[in-house]
């Protein structure tokens, strides 16, 4: 399996798909049915999100191992600082290496539900750059991805401060930066210019979430702070009783976004698929990569 730096040496745009671990057997069956479909488009890797605490967090590595064995596609396992000591994080990383998972998405993670402010676990890490540094020092052959926020992280006072935080992760040894979802490419381009001026020299990959339901995307953007264009919101509000029409508008918007991003030199597209294949399939068909 290839590491992230090797993957991004590709001479064509890198397509990646992000999934999350289902909580039921039915969810697992649905996920693999989705991956059966999307794997035909030959994504260069699949990433799997992470749940803190208990057996949930082991699911990420287990799923990544299953995906690699089933589809022979590299995976990237998400790992956060939430609820884990340094030693526990090392155990998870060791289990990833043993499972043949050689790429990690290193994240601070959000505060647990019901807690307003993130606090580091005693004996753990408070910032993603500390996690990146640990991985880089102990597992130098691993590929490391990190998060970037073109419209700033919700907790950051301003974009320059947030960009400085990203630069710390890059300086600690990150290989690729993946952005949070956004719907206005101009915001990405402004951020990319600042990113390059700050001396950030690793690939910056735009993250795209196809809109399939207006109500759902409103909840997601409210949580993460992504800016939702008024014109796009108006189009969706006009068909809020027609889910098929909402999906068509969302997919067409994502296709236009992706076409423009690739034309403007984006190294690839990272799709937040929400464990559904139909929207991504339509977009990938249109992009014809």
DSSP, residue by residue, the chain:
---HHHHTT-SSPEEEEEE---SSHHHHHHHHHHHHHHGGG--SEEEE----STTHHHHHHHHHHHHHHHH---EEEEEE-TT--HHHHHHHHHHHHHTT--EEEEE--PPPTT-SS--PPTTS-SSHHHHHHHHHHH-TTSEEEEEE-TT--TT-SSHHHHHHHHHHHHHTT--EEEEEE-S-HHHHHHHHHHHHHTT--S-EEEEE---S-HHHHHHHHHHH-----HHHHHHHHTTTT-HHHHHHHHHHHHHHHHHHHHHTT-SEEEEE-TT--HHHHHHHHHHT-
In the block, tokens 């039915």 appear at: 26
Give CA–CA dist 184/190, Å, rounded.
Answer: 11
From the candidates 6, 18, 72, 130, give the one annotated as an active-site residue: 18
Q: Is 25 a catalytic residue?
A: no
Active site residues: 18
């Amino acid at each position: 399996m290839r590491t992230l730096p090797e993957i991004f040496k590709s001479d064509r745009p890198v397509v990646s798909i992000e999934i999350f671990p289902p909580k039921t057997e039915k969810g697992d069956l649905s996920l693999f049915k989705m991956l059966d479909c999307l794997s035909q488009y030959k994504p260069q890797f699949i990433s799997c999100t992470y749940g803190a605490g208990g057996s949930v967090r082991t699911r990420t590595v287990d799923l990544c191992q299953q995906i690699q064995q089933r589809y022979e596609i590299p995976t990237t396992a998400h790992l956060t600082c939430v609820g884990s000591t340094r030693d526990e994080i090392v155990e998870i990383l060791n289990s990833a290496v043993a499972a043949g998972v050689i790429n990690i998405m290193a994240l601070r993670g959000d505060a647990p539900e019901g807690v307003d402010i993130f606090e580091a676990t005693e004996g753990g890490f408070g910032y993603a750059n500390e996690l990146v540094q640990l991985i880089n020092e102990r597992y130098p052959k691993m590929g490391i991805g990190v998060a970037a926020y073109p419209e700033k992280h919700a907790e950051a006072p301003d974009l320059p401060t947030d960009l400085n935080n990203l630069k710390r992760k890059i300086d600690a040894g990150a290989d690729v930066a993946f952005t949070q979802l956004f719907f206005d490419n101009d915001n990405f381009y402004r951020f990319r210019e600042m990113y390059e001026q700050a001396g950030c020299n690793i690939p910056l990959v735009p993250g795209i979430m196809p809109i399939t339901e207006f109500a759902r995307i409103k909840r997601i953007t409210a949580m993460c702070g992504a800016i939702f264009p008024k014109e796009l919101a108006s189009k969706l509000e006009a068909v809020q009783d027609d889910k098929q029409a909402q999906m068509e508008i969302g997919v067409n918007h994502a296709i236009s976004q992706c076409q423009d991003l690739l034309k403007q030199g984006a190294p690839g597209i990272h799709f937040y698929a929400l464990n559904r294949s139909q929207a991504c399939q339509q977009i990938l068909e249109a992009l014809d990569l």
